[in-house]
Every structure is written in structure tokens, then in C-alpha cells.
Amino acid sequence: MSNVPNSAGKAAGLAELRAELQEAGIDWGAVSKVLPDWAETAYESKAGRLELRGFVQRHLGLTKGDGGRLSQLKLPAARFKTRSNTSPDQVASARAAATACARVVAGAINTEWVGLSSKPDELRELIRGRSKHGWVDLEALLEFTWASGIPVLFLPDLPSTGHKMEGMVTFAKGRPVVVLTKKASECDWMLFILAHELGHVALKHLEETEGQAIVDDTVEDSDSNDAQEKEANGFATKLLSSQGKLKIGAAVPKAPALAAMALDFGQKHGISPGHVILNVVRHTTIPGFNLFPLGNAALKCLPENIRGQSPAELCRQAAGKHLDLEKLKNDSVEYLQKLGVI
């Protein structure tokens, strides 16, 4: 008797899987884009069905319960740094998917994790000395982070439903892993988030046991009532700049003038001009005015060689350089490629 299901049985099996994933907070539309090529024919045999379920379980942070039903894996309690209108439950599925990806990647890096200095000024000078521009930019900070044994994943399109955090750091397979999920086209938006997550690691906010995590719903360089967030912000600011918080001292300039001023100031003080722009618009307060549109426009006025490549491309390049893909299963490599990690 054949073990190949008819079309009705195949459709029912796929519908059942979709329902299980939806209940676990996984978006089927997003998942279908990152499934392995053989997934289309998986439900043509019992072995294929089991293999597909195993793939989904392993890569999306799920567990198998009674009758083989998939559900969200229960992770250790995380420290959720959420806004008042966001509950930890709303970002739980994104955390689970990100954690699963972090575990895959953590098993394929050769660099040993030995810890991170808690002195941001010392780290800044170390990174500046290796940077092609002489300041801490995203490219230089990514290279330093990976070389320190901390993988950095850019996952703006996590296949999860509900709210997604901007950044997260988790402990996976004996090392911290940083996950960046904010959708940003300019590197300096991502730069502060990465520096902030490294602050959590360097200041030992993250407990070094499997699955522990700090999940940042949003990362803002501003005063916070949360002591750890305030400390991580302070670490990030000192890591990126020797000048601390910056403000516009006179009349607010147009975007091209602000970009020119930031470029001159950055070159004089060894600070990424993009960070200078965002630092200024964050800390200059003018009643009735939102300066972030000005900051975004000024970022686009910086020279192309200063703006650099997109955050997605820089993160892919860093991951491709430091990961040993031979340590991964072929379907995991394909999954990381479709997610844009490599």
C-alpha cells in the first residue's frame, strides 16, 4: 500500500501545519519564503512530512508536544525592555524565532568568546585604530564584534507575527549573540543599537546561561528610568564618541549644511559623521519641532564613501567572513541565505 497521500490529504496536512505555526506566532506567508526548496514536495511522503516538521521546529524556536503537534518553545524568562504600550507577550514569538536563528549561527563560528571589556573608551580607541576612516562606524564595529566571538545577525524580516523588537542579545551555545531587527537603510541608525546591545554584554547585564536574553523593544539614546538601559546607553555613547551628547549651538541649519558641519566635526574628533548627526538631533530640543526628519535628510547628504553600504549588506559580509558554513547542515545554510543573514 502506497504511503504517498492524495491531494486532499496533502492539503489537509499543510493546513494543519499552518494552523500550528499560526498558533505559535509564526507567519506562514513569511515562513513559506524561507523554507528549503524540497518543502514543496515534503508532504508527498511520511518521511518528507517528518523532515519538514523537524526543519521548522529547529529553525523557528518550536517544540514538539503530544501527537507531534508543534508549539512555541518555552524559553528562560528574559528581561524585556518594552515601551509602556507593548507587553512581553507581543514580542515573544519574535524572540523565539530570533533565538533559534542565533543558536544555528552560534554553532558555526570558530572565534572563541572570552569576554568584553567594560571600558568603552578603551574599546573605542582599539576599534578606531582598525577602522579605515579612523572612527567607530558600523563596518568597523561589526568586525570588532564578530572578532570578539559575538555573532551579529540582521533579521528585519523575522517570520513571526506580533510586535518585533529593535534589538536583542541572547546567550546561545556558550556565547552572546546580537540580533538586530530594526528596518533601517542608514548605517548610523543601526550603529547605536549595536553599541547599546554590546553595552548589555560588557556590563554583564546578560546572564551567561543558555537561552537568557535581553529584548529591547526600542533603543533610544535618551534618559531612561530603567537602570540597565541607562547604563547601556551610556556605554554606547562613549563607545561611539569622545564628545558625549551633542547639540546644535545656533540656528538650525538645512540638511546639507548640517551634513557638512557633521563631516568636519567628525573628522576633527574621530567620530562617525552619521553618528554626529543623529546625536545632535536626539539631544537638541526645540519646542514644537521634531528634528529627526532633518537628521534623516542630512544623513543622505553625506558623501557616498562616508555613508557606506547598507546595514543589510555590511551584516551579510561580516557573517560570511566569520561563519564556517561547513559546520552547518545544507538546509540551515539555505535558510540563512533566504533570511539574508549570509
DSSP 17-66: HHHHHHHTTB-HHHHHTTS-GGGGGGGGSHHHHHHHHHHHHHHHTEEE-G
Given a contact cutoff of 8 angstroms between Cβ atoms, the answer to whether 314 and 138 are in contact is: yes
- Please report the pLDDT score of residue 84 as a whole number: 52
Q: How far apart, in whole angstroms, are the C-alpha atoms of residue 183 and residue 191?
A: 13
Contact (Cβ atoms closer than 8 angstroms) between residue 144 and residue 314: no
pLDDT computed for residue 258 by the predictor? 95
The residue whose grid cell reads 552619521 is 274
Is residue 236 within 8 Å of 197, Cβ to Cβ? no
pLDDT tens sequence across 156-205? 988 887 778 889 999 999 999 999 998 888 899 999 999 999 999 999 99
- The three three-digit cell numbers of residue 18, written as one number: 499552518
Helical packing angle, 46-60 and 88-106, nearest 10°: 110
Instruction: Let me know: does 28 contact 22? Beta carbons within 8 Å.
Output: yes
Question: What pLDDT is recorded for position 14?
Answer: 79
Residue 1 confidence (pLDDT): 43
CB-side neighbour CA atoms (13 Å) of 329: 10
- Cell of residue 307, nine digits: 555613508
Domain extents in the chain: 7-72, 79-240+309-339, 255-307
pLDDT of residue 128: 95
Return all residues near 77 (Cβ < 8 A) that are at least 6 apart.
none
User: Which residues in the chain show pLDDT less than 70?
Assistant: 1-10, 82-87, 219-225
Question: How many Å separate Cα 202 from the centre of its chain?
Answer: 17
Give the CB-side neighbour count of residue 145, counting CA atoms within 13 A.
31
